[in-house]
Structure formats: C-alpha cells, structure tokens
Amino acid sequence: MKMKLVFATNNAHKLEEIREMAGGQYEIVSLKEIGCQEEIPEEQDTLEGNALQKARFVKERYGADCFADDTGLEIAALGGEPGVRSARYAGEGHDSEANMRKVLAKMEGVDDRRARFRTVIALILDGEEHLFEGEVRGEILREKHGAEGFGYDPIFRPEGFAESFAEMSLDAKNAISHRGRATRALIRFLNGR
Ligand code: IMP
C-alpha cells in the first residue's frame, strides 16, 4: 500500500518536483487536498525553526504524518541575506520579480557573487521529528537568464554549470538543487525504514 504523507505546501512547482522524485512510491498530498486553507505560521528566524513550525501545525490540527520545508537564498556579500526572509525580501507580496530586482540592486558593483540555496525539511512521522538538509553553491548573475522554474532561479547559476537554474530542465535542476538534495535525504530515510 502506498504511504500517505502530507507535504505542507500548496506550491504547484514544489509538488511537481517532489512527486517526480518520490517515484510514485508515496502518495504526496498537498494542504489543499486535506482541506487546509489557512495560512500556516512561519515566524521563526531560522529555516529549521520554520520547517518544524509548519510540520507541527499540520500534525496538531490534522493529525497527519507530514513534512514541511523552508528554503533560503544566502548571499555571502549580503551577510547571508535574504536567507530566511527570501520569500518576502522586497515586501509582503511574495513578488519574485521585485525580490530579484532588490538583490540585483544590492549586488550592483559587487564582485563577490557567491551564494547558496539551503533547504531544510522537517518530517513528523510516528510521533518523531526528523530534519534533512540540502544545499547548492553558486553565484548571483548580473542579470536575469531563462524562464523556467520560479523564485530566484533566473539570477542563480549553480557551481560547475554554464546555465542559470531558470535555463535548466526540471530534471537537471532536481539532480543538483538544494531541495533535490534535501528531498533525496528524506526519501532515503523513508525507504530505509
Ligand atoms: P520556501 O521556503 O521554499 O517557500 O522558499 C522561500 C523563497 O525562496 C521562495 O519564495 C523563493 O523566492 C525562494 N526559493 C525557494 N526555492 C527556490 C528555488 O528552487 N529556486 C529559486 N528560488 C527559490
């Protein structure tokens, strides 16, 4: 029987990414599919804290085994910004274009372009909490490239590649991405049980 796990998100991109990687072994269910319409609080100042807060919220309200993720883009020259504030960097609107404009403006004339994406996944299963992490290092481009993906993809080029994340196929991105790595760690754990 397929194992049912709630992924505490309604982000269609993320659901598609993870369903592809989980390979049909698990039934990954979104918040919408369990009837959760509420905004889940994310008030912590670390990725770990936010991922745990979201997973605990779903477990407490819906009683379901679940996992939640939190991702940040950490730019060395900006002291790790936008980090845990990546979604709302340019304001409450979750506007990717505005977020990228803000990063590009802050990085104008800056030669140190080093950055990394980091994802933390918190899993609550059989009453136990587990954390998984993935990161990808790269650099912030000077302008946008490509139209795939979401978020900061057009201005992030992973180390060892000529293209931005937004110029890669979903498969190519999943193979090296922060969330891909964190997700594989989660799936390895689940398969090993
Ligand atoms: P979240 O915690 O996964 O919602 O990520 C927070 C923010 O980081 C998102 O709103 C995006 O702006 C950005 N982000 C997360 N994952 C990615 C990615 O794979 N590519 C580009 N930006 C991302």
CA distance 97 to 90: 9
CA distance 67 to 148: 25
33 Cα: distance to centroid of ligand 1 (angstroms): 22
Q: How confident is the model at residue 47 (pLDDT cuts 50, 70, 90)?
A: very high
* pLDDT for res 16: 84
Q: How confident is the model at residue 39 (pLDDT cuts 50, 70, 90)?
A: confident
CA distance 109 to 150: 25
Residue 82 Cβ inside 6 Å of ligand 1? The answer reads no
**DSSP conformation class of 39:** P
* pLDDT for res 12: 87
Residue 12 CA: distances (Å) to CA of 22, 79, 103, 138, 167: 15, 31, 25, 25, 19
Mean pLDDT computed over 158-184 = 94
| Closest to 30 (Cα-Cα) out of 60, 84, 68, 70 | 68
* pLDDT for res 77: 98
Say yes or no to pLDDT of 1 above 90. Answer: no
CA distance 177 to 164: 12
* pLDDT for res 170: 85
Catalytic residue among 45, 65, 69, 70: 70
Q: How confident is the model at residue 10 (pLDDT cuts 50, 70, 90)?
A: confident
Catalytic residue at 95?
no
CATH for the stretch 4-191: 3.90.950.10
What the block records as the tokens of 27 is 């039934």
Q: What distance, in Å, lies between the first and last C-alpha atoms of the chain?
A: 15
* pLDDT for res 17: 77
CA distance 106 to 159: 21
The chain-wide mean pLDDT, for the chain, equals 93
